[in-house]
Structure formats: C-alpha cells, structure tokens
Amino acid sequence: MLVLGLEASCDETACAIVRDDGCVLADVIHTQTSLHAPHGGVVPEVASRDHVRQVSRVVENALAAAAISLNDIDAIAVTARPGLLGALLVGVEFAKGLSLATGKPLVGVDHLHGHLSASALFANGTACHVAPPFPHVALVASGGHTALYLVKGPNASQVEALGATRDDAAGECFDKVAKVMGLGYPGGPAVDRWAERGDADKCPLAFPRDRIEGFDFSFSGLKTRVAAHIETHGRPESEEALAHLCAGVRSAIVRTLVGKTLAAADETHVGAVTVGGGVAANRFLRSELARGAEARALMCFLPARFACTDNGAMIAWAGLQRLLAGERDDLSLDASTTSILPSVTRKGRGRRS
C-alpha cells in the first residue's frame, strides 16, 4: 500500500510517498524560511500564497522521485489540523482535488499526531521501519506546541495527555530568545549551533529549575529573563559570550524537557520514549534524552534530524494508521486550527473544538 502524505500547515509545503512497511519512497520539502525571515516570524498570508504557488510542483516532484504516477497511489493523507487556517486549506483542498480526480481514499491527519509518528518512520537516523513499542511516552516539542503523551497505540484516539506547556512552546522560546539576541529566524537551529561552541556553566544567567509540578511546562519566564538581561547589559559583545549564553539557554530548556520526559516514563512504567517536533532536532536534547534513557534501560527513539521539522512522510504514516483502522474522510473534510489530541494547546487549556 502506498500513501501520499501532504503537509501545508505552516511554512513548509511537503509531500512524501510512504509504503505500508515504513519505507519512504520520496520525501520532498519546500521551505518558506527565507520568505518569513525578514519578518522575524511566519506571516500567515505570505505562507498561504506560497503554498498555492508550490503545492502542485512539490507533489509532482515527490511522484517523480518515487518513480510512480498518481494511479499507483492507494490513498491520500493530508494535514487537516492544527495550523494556520489559510495554509491548511491549501493542502486540504488540493488533497480533495486529488482524491476526487483519482477516486483514491482521503484521510485528514492531525499535524501533532504526525510529529508523534515521525519517530516510527525515521527512528535513530535510518529510513527503515523500527517502530517504538506501545505503550510509550512521547514528547512533542515544536514551534507551536509542547506536550507529553502516553501513547497506547498507533491511532490518535490512543494518545493520552500527560502534560503540556502553560505558556510558550519550547520552539517558540528558542525563537524568541534568538530574536532578542539578534540571531534571526528560525532561532532554534541558530541557538543550537552557537551553544555547541559554548559552556552552560559560563552562562551569565542562572536559570532556576522548573517549579511547575507534574508534567506541565512553562517557558515564558526563561525568555523574559534573557530579554531583561539583554536590555540591561546589551547583546553579548564577543562570540564567546554569545556562545555561553546560548549554551545556558539550551541547557535550561533541554533540562526541563528531558527531565519531565524521563520522569513520565518512570511514572507510567513504559519501556520506551520518543520525541518529535522541530526541537527534537536539537543536538543537546537528543544526546541528553538518549543518555537518560540508557541509564534507565529505556528504548529511545529519535527521528532523524531532518524528520523532526514538518514533512510529508510523518503525515503519510499517521494517515496510514487511520486507514488501517478503517477510517477515511470524504470531500466534506475541513481544516481546523485545533488539534484532536488532548491538552495540547499553547496555553495549556486542553482540548478545544
């Protein structure tokens, strides 16, 4: 069975062709980063327009890379929620058109369930299918969301919330801190790169341990601390000082994410942990989670770094799980800005419809 996965929920237009044994035949991603960078963040209208411009080409390129035609596809999966509404609509309407024209089944996918699924597809840097066993604890840390889940099975309905951020997402925190340091957008990769050259122990700021109980997170205080420091002392003058500041920020964010993920695994007695979302590309997060998991004899599934940010393969795989459960959508499929996963909204408000 071949599933075409289409992703256009934010600033990437992506299409992948994935086989039901987990083999990724093609994975094409067009990123809009350069369009949004001058604005310091994603501009929704600019995003939608670029998706319209790119979507046909990206799908054609994916089919060409897999050396197949539309007729060879068995189903079409598309991100239907959550995300920027105008962006989502481009993908959803395009996918409906494909479904109508080809008669192939259509499934809408929750983008966050896609991020959760990436660890099954691209685990530990390989494109072969080594899926994490159920149940496992999954951390999703992305630009818009940060949450911990107990994943009991391959479908979104089998995902239980353990905790979520009460304010900013981890990726948003990286982006905001990078902005005040003048590192541009997106900030996460830049902070990560600078941090590699620094020493968290030499960071001029001490970040207190997260005092939030349970498995919720809060990142807005950290950003405020860095902003206040820069307002008082100015931006770091030397590259060395910048590297130390970035190392301190990265260490504080990662310490919280990894600490809570491992504590959740302890409490739920699972045998494996996974991570997904753009922040999962962070080098320190990956090494710390792997180290902590090993110390507890837990299996640790890290998607390849390129598969942490938005891609079509994770959408195809999540869509395949819906198809295997006998689910499908019709042409009334609509886009929505909210996730079907529980307790994932940015302010920790839980499920909304």
Name the residues that contact ligand ATP, by CB under 6 A: 10, 83, 111, 115, 142-145, 171-172, 174-175, 186-189, 192, 277-279, 281-282, 309-310
Give the whole-angstrom CA distance, residue 170 versus residue 282: 11
Residue the block writes with tokens 């966050």? 112
84 binds, among ligand ATP, Mg ion, none (CB under 5 to 8 A by kind): none
Give the whole-angstrom CA distance, residue 32 versus residue 35: 5
DSSP-based three-state secondary structure for 208: coil
The distance of closest approach from Cβ of residue 142 to Mg ion in the complex, given in angstroms and rounded to an integer, is 4
Asked if 275 and 289 count as a contact pair (C-beta separation under 8 A), the reply is: yes
Nearer to ligand ATP, 105 or 188 (CB): 188
Question: By rule CB under 5 A, what count of residues binds Mg ion?
Answer: 2
Asked if 39 and 74 count as a contact pair (C-beta separation under 8 A), the reply is: no
Give the whole-angstrom CA distance, residue 310 versus residue 152: 23
Nearer to ligand ATP, 95 or 281 (CB): 281
The two tokens of residue 87 are 């962006």
Q: Is the peptide bond before 186 cis (omega within 30 degrees of 0)?
A: yes
Nearer to ligand ATP, 46 or 68 (CB): 46
Single residue of 99, 117, 142, 274 touching Mg ion by CB under 5 A: 142
Sole window of 61-69, 136-144, 163-171, 344-352 interacting with Mg ion (rule: CB under 5 A): 136-144
Nearer to Mg ion, 142 or 321 (CB): 142
Nearer to ligand ATP, 145 or 260 (CB): 145
The distance of closest approach from Cβ of residue 247 to ligand ATP in the complex, given in angstroms and rounded to an integer, is 12
Nearest residue to ligand ATP, by Cβ distance, number only = 278
Asked if 81 and 339 count as a contact pair (C-beta separation under 8 A), the reply is: yes
According to the binding rule CB under 5 A, does residue 310 interact with Mg ion?
Answer: yes
The distance of closest approach from Cβ of residue 204 to Mg ion in the complex, given in angstroms and rounded to an integer, is 32
Kindly give, in sequence order, each residue whose CB lies less than 8 Å from that of residue 113, ignoring residues fewer than 6 positions away.
156, 159, 318, 340, 341
DSSP state of 230: H
Nearer to ligand ATP, 60 or 196 (CB): 196
Sole window of 156-164, 206-214, 305-313, 318-326 interacting with Mg ion (rule: CB under 5 A): 305-313
Angle at 172 between CA 221 and CA 351, to 5 degrees: 95
Residue the block writes with tokens 């259509």? 106
Q: Is the peptide bond before 82 cis (omega within 30 degrees of 0)?
A: yes
DSSP state of 228: H
The distance of closest approach from Cβ of residue 193 to ligand ATP in the complex, given in angstroms and rounded to an integer, is 8
The distance of closest approach from Cβ of residue 21 to ligand ATP in the complex, given in angstroms and rounded to an integer, is 25
The distance of closest approach from Cβ of residue 64 to ligand ATP in the complex, given in angstroms and rounded to an integer, is 25
* Footprint of Mg ion (CB under 5 A): 142, 310
